[in-house]
Amino acid sequence: MLSLRGALLGSVFLVFAACNQPDKPATVGEPNSIDSVAGLPGSAGVVEVLTGTGRRGAANLVAERLRRQGYDVVKIGNAPERNYSRTLVAERRVGAGIAAGVAKAIGVPTTFAYHNENLLVDATVFVGRDFEEILPP
């Protein structure tokens, strides 16, 4: 005769085994695969856009431009400071090379290295007061 504890353990094992049977193996680019941290399939890069100016909606305008250019904008928010006179693009991952494309897409002439692998983004845009001047039509 099975004990109640044995029956519960057996049930838990069966449920666990059934839940861990994938319909098909995950492949690169699928939403549940580990490589999804690198962005959407076909993404030009993973970017965050932070407002460095008091102008409402500035980061949204820049983010929309980047999305139309194929970038995966994963965060729109506020920069630590709100006094940026010009827009800056920072390369966040060593060797990613994404910041140069981001800068070109929004009309920023240069980029700088400000690496932080923990952010899980390739580049950060700090939107400054010049954002209306640099965004190409």
Query: Residues 5-41: pLDDT tens digits?
Result: 444 444 433 333 334 434 333 333 333 322 334 455 6
Model confidence pLDDT, tens digit, residues 37-72: 445 566 789 999 999 998 899 999 999 999 999 999
- Provide the domain limits for residue 65: 44-134
Joined together, the tokens standing for residue 1 give 């005769």
Instruction: Let me know if 95 is exposed, middle or buried by CB neighbors in 10 A (0-12, 13-18, 19+).
Output: exposed
Q: Is residue 24 part of a domain?
A: no
Average pLDDT, the chain: 77
Nearest-angstrom CA–CA distance, 98 and 121:
10
Decide if 56 is inside a domain.
yes
Residue 31 resides in a domain: no
CATH of the domain at 107: 3.30.70
- In a domain, residue 4? The reply is no
Kindly tell me the burial class for residue 128, based on how many C-beta atoms sit within 10 Å of its own C-beta (0-12, 13-18, 19 or more): buried
Q: Would you state the pLDDT for residue 36?
A: 33
In a domain, 22, yes or no: no
- The answer to the question of residue 34 being in a domain is no
Residue 130 has pLDDT above 60, yes or no: yes
Domain count, the chain: 1
Total-model pTM:
0.69
Confirm whether 16 is domain-assigned. Answer: no
